[in-house]
Structure 1
Amino acid sequence: MAVYTTVDDLTLAAFLSGYDLGNVLSFAGIAEGVENSNYLLRTDKAHYILTLYEKRVDADDLPFFMEVMTHLASKGMSCPLPVAARDGSILQKLMGRPCAVFSFLDGTSSRYPNREKCRALGASLAEMHLHASGVTRRRPNALGPQSWQPLLDSVGVRADEIAPSMQAMTQTRLDSILESWPKDLPQGVIHADLFPNNVLFIGDHLTGVIDFYFACDDVLAYDIGICLNSWCFEADGSFNITKSRSLIRGYQTIRPLSDAEIAAIPVLAAGSAMRFFLTRLYDWLHTPKDALVSPKDPMEYWSILGFHQSVSGVGAYGFD
């Protein structure tokens, strides 16, 4: 469910009068996603996506997100392009919500992508990291390492509701990650949420990267850790080194990693797993029973975290 705010026909017509999008053929809510309300708008000119930003998105961050997508699209990347209204503005208001219209991208996502898709994802991620160097606005990572201890503290002893001694075990694992967290690695704009449902394909050809609403400035290789966790673990929880090797090789064909970045992959991947475990844990314990979106099971990422903290070196990820 990803339509929290309903837009009626009259309100939509008044809103679209400020654009040159053509005559409306259809307008329907999109069921994917969890953060915002999304609609597919079909006109006699093209297809578009209308996004209304709900309360979990800080309106002050929207200009950064718009610049990231506009800049990447200008560099030839397949990502949503914000569409300006007649007055030249991109961000608008609709139903009391900030909103924007975007170009439509063809393709479908894959829950368990194959190694060819993983390689294409790696190459596209590297291209994004290189092209985004021209983005002028800055946005610190609000869910970076500095946020993990406060997140755990906010959960407190309630962590033990999902497993005995979970608070203590999480604290031990978190201390280990923070003590080993790398310094002085290359930084820039990262996607920070590049799960398979945010990448579109036709066959094995990558046609689009979407959902930039966690994008921020952070360690570039941290994005690789996020992708290893979300692309390279199978339904049974096992790590697929073949997919990992393909993803990393795809990345390195575009942006070769330094020795320091390669050496940091295990802790960066562990940190990514900790970040998603903690945010899922918080949502698991705090989301109301009648909420429109069901929280995701944090234990999936607890298992992933255990894998990263058990490996003996970068060879476990397919590095030669």
Structure 2
Amino acid sequence: MAVYTHVSAEALSALLARYDVGALVSAKGIAEGVENSNYLVDTTAGRFILTLYEKRVDGGDLPFFLALLDHLAAKGLPVPPAIKDRQGAAIQTLEGRPACLIQFLPGVSLSSPTPTQARAAGDALGRLHAAAADFPLTRPNTMGSHTWQPLLERCGRRLDEIAPGLHDDLADAVAKLSVAWPAGLDRSLIHADLFPDNVLMLGNEITGLIDFYFACTDLRLYDLAIMHTAWCFDAQGRTFDAAIGDALIEGYGRHFPLNDDERLAFNDLAVGACIRFALSRAWDWLNTPADALVTRKDPLAYMRRLAHYDPRLLTRVKL
């Protein structure tokens, strides 16, 4: 979550008037995240999230995302479906952007999860994959392995402004993984971004799975590998906690036990997740507008994770 597009109180009040959600009391921009503009909105009837979809989210994909949330909510998953206005419309236009008013879910995101909490998160991912098994729509992964080389080229040598040697190390990693990518595993609908800040918890209970705007059809186990890279390290990517990783896999295995081929491929999938997020963070680092209310994510934190999974891939950049 972030704020790139600023919304006036007058425009927000006019939007809320289309709904049966009460009158505007307050709205506050949410700085965390990097993808869309988000506001915490309080009205006389309750609390909501307003999301304005920025350039990385194609407005044409919104019906897919919203249908997925409705599907998962109907299966009992703790996800936040968009609220429909009096005309039955979920997708609006606000300040020139597609926008949705979304149900608020209680809970907090954890910066230092325990193994018990990680086990619950892994279990939630397994339940998500099981619930999505009969979801009828598909969507290609717009940040999948086929996109990494083009994104590397768009970043170009400016990567070395972040750290000397970053371009060449990432270029080598992309080239090597393009040969080793384990494409023959089971495919399914995946979240593709289930970081700790996209999981809401109260104590050890999962109360919300949020931010589905990278959801797509890809390797099912890749989703777990993304979680592994996100949950098992401190924010800087310097400290690895094996107990967290074991708990994630154990929780997920309640629904989808890993077979021998999946265990063999898991490290390469984690390397791929590190490449994907190092590249996207680097692009955002180099291109985020100076006046955006947004917390930029350090791409080197994912290069440090990459060094954990395969230290042979880092020979130039100093971490």
Regarding TM over 0.5, the answer is: yes
2:2 and 2:295 in contact (8 A); partners too: no
The aligned counterpart of 1:316 is: none
The aligned counterpart of 1:169 is: 169
In structure 2, relative to structure 1, the CA distance for the partners of 1:10 and 1:166 (3 Å cut) is closer
| 1:309 to 2:310 alignment | yes
Aligned-partner SS, 2:254: helix
Rounded Cα–Cα distance in structure 2 between residues aligned with 1:157 and 1:24: 47
1:189 and 1:215 in contact (8 A); partners too: yes
Unaligned runs of 5+ in 1: 312-320
Aligned-partner SS, 1:254: coil
Q: What amino acid sits opposite 1:169 in the alignment?
A: D
In structure 2, relative to structure 1, the CA distance for the partners of 1:21 and 1:157 (3 Å cut) is closer
In structure 2, relative to structure 1, the CA distance for the partners of 1:47 and 1:296 (3 Å cut) is closer
Rounded Cα–Cα distance in structure 2 between residues aligned with 1:291 and 1:20: 31
- CA deviation vs aligned residue, 1:249-286 (integer Å, no higher than 9, x gap): 00001222232222110000000001111122223334
Q: What amino acid sits opposite 1:267 in the alignment?
A: D
1:127 and 1:255 in contact (8 A); partners too: no
Aligned-partner SS, 2:252: helix
Rounded Cα–Cα distance in structure 2 between residues aligned with 1:96 and 1:288: 18
Q: What amino acid sits opposite 2:47 in the alignment?
A: H
Report the number of matched residues: 311
The aligned counterpart of 2:294 is: 293
2:195 and 2:231 in contact (8 A); partners too: yes
Aligned-partner SS, 1:207: strand
The aligned counterpart of 1:237 is: 238
- CA deviation vs aligned residue, 1:153-203 (integer Å, no higher than 9, x gap): 223333333444433332222222111111221111111111111111111
| 1:248 to 2:245 alignment | no
2:109 and 2:199 in contact (8 A); partners too: yes
In structure 2, relative to structure 1, the CA distance for the partners of 1:32 and 1:281 (3 Å cut) is closer
The aligned counterpart of 2:143 is: 143
Aligned-partner SS, 2:146: helix
* Highest RCO, 1 vs 2 (Cα 8 Å, sep ≥ 6): 2
Rounded Cα–Cα distance in structure 2 between residues aligned with 1:40 and 1:160: 37
In structure 2, relative to structure 1, the CA distance for the partners of 1:166 and 1:104 (3 Å cut) is closer
Rounded Cα–Cα distance in structure 1 between residues aligned with 2:5 and 2:281: 24
The aligned counterpart of 1:314 is: none
| RMSD of aligned Cα (Å) | 2.1
- CA deviation vs aligned residue, 1:43-100 (integer Å, no higher than 9, x gap): 4443222212223321111111111111111110101111111111111112222111
Aligned-partner SS, 1:83: coil
1:21 and 1:46 in contact (8 A); partners too: yes
Rounded Cα–Cα distance in structure 2 between residues aligned with 1:145 and 1:69: 25
Rounded Cα–Cα distance in structure 2 between residues aligned with 1:160 and 1:301: 15
Aligned-partner SS, 1:38: strand
The aligned counterpart of 1:124 is: 124
Rounded Cα–Cα distance in structure 2 between residues aligned with 1:39 and 1:267: 37
Rounded Cα–Cα distance in structure 2 between residues aligned with 1:19 and 1:289: 34
Q: Post-superposition shift, 1:114?
A: 1.2
- CA deviation vs aligned residue, 1:272-311 (integer Å, no higher than 9, x gap): 0011111222233344555543532211111111111159
Q: Post-superposition shift, 1:246?
A: 0.5
1:82 and 1:102 in contact (8 A); partners too: yes
- CA deviation vs aligned residue, 1:179-229 (integer Å, no higher than 9, x gap): 111122111111111111111111121110111111111101101111111
The aligned counterpart of 1:108 is: 108
1:71 and 1:134 in contact (8 A); partners too: no
Equivalence map 1:27-42=2 (5 Å): 27-42=27-42
The aligned counterpart of 2:63 is: 63
Q: Percent of pairs identical after alignment? A: 46
In structure 2, relative to structure 1, the CA distance for the partners of 1:185 and 1:300 (3 Å cut) is same
Q: What amino acid sits opposite 1:58 in the alignment?
A: D
Equivalence map 1:211-290=2 (5 Å): 211-235=211-235, 237-289=238-290
Q: What amino acid sits opposite 1:91 in the alignment?
A: I
